[in-house]
Chain A
Amino acid sequence: MTRRVRTRLVAAVVATAALVASGCGGGSAGGGGAGGTIIRGTTDQPVSYDPAGAYDLPSYDVIYSVYQNLLTIPPGGNKPVPEAAQACDWTNSTTYKCTLKDGLKFSNGDPLTSEDVKFSFDRNVEIADPNGASSLLANLKSTDAPDPKTVIFHLAKPDATFPFLLTVASFAIVDHKVFPADKLQPSDKVIGSGHYTVASFKPGQQTVLEKNPTYTPTYDGDEAAKNDRVIIQYFNTSSALKLAVQQGPANGGVDIAYRSLSPTDLSSLKSASGVNVVEGNGTEIRYLVFNLKLMPGDNDAQKTAIRQAVAYTIDRDAIANNVYDGTVQPLYSMVPQGLQFATEAFKDRYGATPNVDAAKKVLADAGVKTPVPLEIWYTPSHYGPVSGDEYAEIKHELDSSGLFDVTLKSTEWEQYSTDAFTNKYPVFQLGWFPDYPDANDYTQPFYAPNKESFLNISYSNPEMTKLLADEVATTNDAKRAADFKRIQEIGAEDAPTIPYWQGKQVAAVRDGISGVEQTFDPSFIFRYWLISKSS
C-alpha cells in the first residue's frame, strides 16, 4: 500500500470514529413540548391492531389506546363504566341497550355513531378470524342500530357478564367508512377514536403511537394523553429487555420494561441505579389440573382424596419465593384477589401452609396406598423457562412429604396444548389469562361439566353446574356473591384444579417515569395515556 493510500485510509477511519463517538446519545428521547416520548420495551409481540383480528394481550395493549369501547374499566376499578356510551342497561333479561355520547369523532374526523358500533360487531362475527375473539359472541343473536345514538344487543340466553364483554378490546368501535366488512384492516392503517393513533407498525421491531389531538376524556378518571408519543419496542429475550431498561433511552434503551422480565432480572433490577421496580395485582393465574379419568385412584372417593392430599401438601409460599423471587403471590382460589366475588376457599379448607398430617389422614381414610405415583406434565417454554424450576420445586415438595412419588414429564407447547385436552396427561400445568375481569371467566371455563369445559377432564358436579347457570343469569350482585362463594367452596372441596399462584403485574421503570402503578389493576389495560416523564 502506498503512503498516499495509507494516509487517506487513516483519515477515513478517524473521521468515522469521530462520528461514531459523537453518536453517543443519538437515541435520546427527543420530542418537543411538555409531553415527550415514552419508550416501552416488551418481549410480547402483537398479532393485529384490527379488533376483529386480535385475542392476545399485546394487540389489546394498543387497541385500548387507539379505540374506544362502549364500556370500559376505569383505572383502579373492577366494574364496567360507560366510555363511548352515555348509559347502558338491560331492557329485559336478554336485551341490552346503550345510548351513545354526543360529539364522538374518529381521529380522521368521521363521526362515531351507532352504525359504527353495529358494523364493528357484525364484521367481527362475519370475518371470524382464526386469531380473533368471535367465539366470545356465541351468545349474541343480533345487533340493532335503530337511530344514530342507540344500539340494542339481542342475546340468546341471559348473561350477566355481557357488560364486561363490551369492555373487551376485541369489541372496540371501528370506523365503518375505513374498515372493510369482510376482511381485516392492515395494522398500520387502522383508525380509532381513542387517545392515540398508530403512526407506524413494524412487526418484530416497533410500534409507534402518537397522541390524538381531538380526543376528549369520557369518564371519571380519564384524561387526555400525558405524553406526545409512545414507542413500543420489541425484544426477543428478557435479558436484552433488562439490559435496555438499565441503559435507558439516552443509550438507545427504554423507559419502561413490562412483560416479561424473569425473576432473576427483576431481583437484579431492584438493586440497580436509575431503575425502580413497581408492581400491582395481576390477574394471570397458574394451576394444576387433574384429569379425572387418567389420574391414579381406584374409585371416585380415592381420586378425590388424592387431589385433596395434594392440596394439603403443596407449598405455595415456597414456589412464590424460591422460584419466582416474590414476583407472584400465593393463590387460594381459581378467582384471583382483586376481582369482585373472590374468596380464598382453598385457604379456608386446607390452610395457608402445608399440612402433611391432614394429607396423610385423608389418604388413609380413603384407603389409598402411599406413596401415590403421580405423573405430572408441564411445558418448558410457553410459560417461560421458569416452568422447569417451578415443577422441580413442586416435585420436591410432594416427594419429601413421603406421600407421593412424582415423575415429571414435559413437551413443547405445540404438542402439549393438544395432548393436555385430549386425555393424554393425568396431571398437568396450565396458566390462565382472563378475557375480562369477572369471576365467571375464572370459574365457568373450568368447572363446567365434562365437554362444556375446555379442560375436558371429565369433571361434573350437578350443584356446581346449577350455580354457574344461576350466577350468569342474574345481575343481582348479592345473589352472585352468594353463588360464587359456594362455587369456590365446591371448587376447593372437589379440587379438580388446584390454583397455586396469581401473577403480579411487574414493571421496571426508570427514574422520573410515573403513572405505571396507577394502571395496574384487574382490567389488564396498560393505560399509556396516564404515563408521564419528568426530566
Chain B
Amino acid sequence: MSRSGSLRAYLLTRVALAIPTVLILLTLVFVLMRVAPGNPIQAALGGHVSQQIIERKTHAAGYDRPILVQYADYLKDVFTGHLGQTITDKTPVTRIVVNNGSATAELAIAAFLVALAIGVPLGVLAGRFRDTPVDTGGRLFGIFVYAAPVFFTGFLAQLVFGVKLGWLPTSGRVGPVTEFTLDKPTHFYVIDSIITGNWSAFGDVLRHLILPAITLGLLVSGVLIRLVRVNMLQTMRGDYVEAARARGVPERRVVIHHAFRNALVPVVTVAGLQFATLLGGAILTEQTFNWPGIGAALVRYLNLRDYIAVQGIVTVFAIAVVVVSLLIDVINAFVDPRVRY
C-alpha cells in the first residue's frame, strides 16, 4: 500500500473512532446531570416558595418527563447544533462557549508558551548535563512547581504582585471599562486590541494575562521539564548521535543539531497530552484569578444545576479534546512512519 493510501486509511479510522467516543461522553454527561438530585428550579427557588409551586414549575419545564424522552431530545438537539439557552440566565450556550472558550484558549496558549519557554530549555539542560547539579536542580524545580497546587501559587502571586506591590491586577481578563469599550472581532483580546489599534487596551490585556499565564504555565513546565529531559537522555544515547560524536562533531553541535531536534518531536505529543492538564489547571486558575473562562462557567453552572449549560459546555469540551488528540495523531502519523493502523 502506498504511503498516502495508508495515511488516508489511518485518518479515516481515527475520525470514525472519534464519533463513538463523543457519543459515550455525551451520554455520560447526560446521565451524570440527570441522576444527581435536584434541578435548576429547586436550586433557584427552594427555601423561598412552597414545594407545590416548585413541583408545578418543574412539570411545566418538562424536567419530570421520562428520562429516555429527555435523552432523545438531548441527542437531537446536540446533533442539530441546537445547544440551547441556559436555564439560569437565558444565554445561548454557543455564546458562552465562544466568549468563555476564547478566554480559556487565550490563557491556555499563553500558559503553554510560558511552559515551553521555561520547560524546554531547562529540560534540555538537565538532560545534557545529566546527574550534575544543573540536572538535579532542574528536576527538583520541575517537581516542586508541579507539586504546588495552582490555587496556592496563584494566590501567593496575587498577594505579592497585586496587593503588596500593586504592579499587576489580580482578577479578570481586562479592566471593567476596557471590557466595555474594546471591539472584539475575534474574541481573543490580545489580537483584537492589536487589530483595532487600541494600544492602551493592549497593555491592559497583557497586564491581566501575565499572572495567570505564568501560574498555569509553571505548572505545565514542571511536567515538560521531566518529559523533555527523559527524551533527551534517550536520544543522546541513540546510534546516530554516537555516530556524530565518533565523527568528531563538537558536543555542543551534537546537542543542538542532533539530539535537540529529535527530542522535540515528542513535544507535539506532549502538547496534546498536556491539554488535559491545562484544562484541569484552567478550572482552578480561572477560579483563583476570576478569569471568565469555560472552566469557571462550568463550575458555576454545575452549582446552579443548569443542565443545559453544563451539557452544552461539556459537549464542546469533549469535542475539542477529541479534535485535538486527532490532530496530534495526524501530525504524528505524518512525522513518524511507524505510526499507522
Contact = CB atoms under 8 A, between A and B. Distances in A.
Interface of A: 16, 19-24, 26-31, 37, 39, 45-48, 53, 55-56, 128, 130-131, 135, 184, 186-187, 199-200, 202-206, 208, 231, 233, 235-237, 240, 243-244, 246-247, 249, 251-254, 413-418, 420-422, 430-433, 451, 453-454, 456
Q: How large is the interface on B (under 10, 10 to 19, 20 to 34, 35 or more residues)?
A: 35 or more
Contacts of A16: 206
12 contacts: A19-B206, A21-B203, A45-B300, A55-B48, A130-B44, A202-B99, A208-B180, A236-B287, A244-B170, A249-B175, A413-B38, A421-B51
A117 B42 CA distance: 30
A203, A431, A454: residue with the most chain B Cβ atoms closer than 10 Å: A203
Contacts of B174: 27, 252
B48 A244 contact: no
A132 B162 CA distance: 40
Given A243-B171, A252-B208, A26 B201 contact: yes
B87 interface: yes
Nearest 5 CB-CB pairings of A with B = A23-B203, A27-B175, A417-B46, A414-B38, A454-B50
B104 interface: no
B49 A414 contact: no
A206 B179 CA distance: 8
Interface stretch (B24-32, B88-96, B139-147, B258-266): B88-96
Q: Of B51, B87, B158, B201, which is in contact with the most chain A CB atoms at under 10 Å from its CB?
A: B51
B47 interface: yes
B44 A47 contact: yes
A415 B177 CA distance: 40
Given A186-B90, A204-B296, A236 B290 contact: yes
Nearest to A45: B89
Most chain B beta-carbon contacts within 10 A, residue among A19, A247, A417: A417
Contacts of B201: 26
Interface string B161-187: 011001001111011111110000000
Given A19-B202, A252-B172, 4 more contacts: A31-B177, A128-B57, A432-B47, A453-B50
Interface in B274-297: 287, 289-290, 292, 296-297
Contacts of A20: 203, 206-207, 210
Nearest to A232: B176
Given A23-B206, A27-B204, A247 B305 contact: no
B10 to A, nearest CB: 36
B23 interface: no
A56 B44 contact: yes
B72 interface: no
A135 B48 CA distance: 11
A23 B37 CA distance: 48
A433 B44 CA distance: 13
Contact of B90 (A48, A249, A432): A48
Given A30-B177, A45-B300, A251-B166, A454 B89 contact: no
B45 interface: yes
B177 A29 contact: yes
A23 B88 contact: no
Given A48-B90, A456-B51, A130 B37 contact: no
Contact of B163 (A47, A199, A246): A246
Interface string B42-73: 11111111111100011011000000000000
A451 B51 CA distance: 9
B199 interface: yes
B300 A236 contact: yes
B213 to A, nearest CB: 12
Which of A236, A413, A416: most chain B Cβ within 10 A?
Answer: A236
Contacts of A47: 44, 88-90
Contacts of A240: 170-171, 289-290
A193 B292 CA distance: 32
A236 B296 contact: yes
B100 interface: yes
A453 B50 CA distance: 7
A312 B289 CA distance: 45
B41 interface: yes
A244 B171 contact: yes
Contacts of B158: 243
Contacts of B199: 19
A203 B57 contact: no
A130 B90 CA distance: 11
Nearest to B179: A206
Contacts of B289: 240
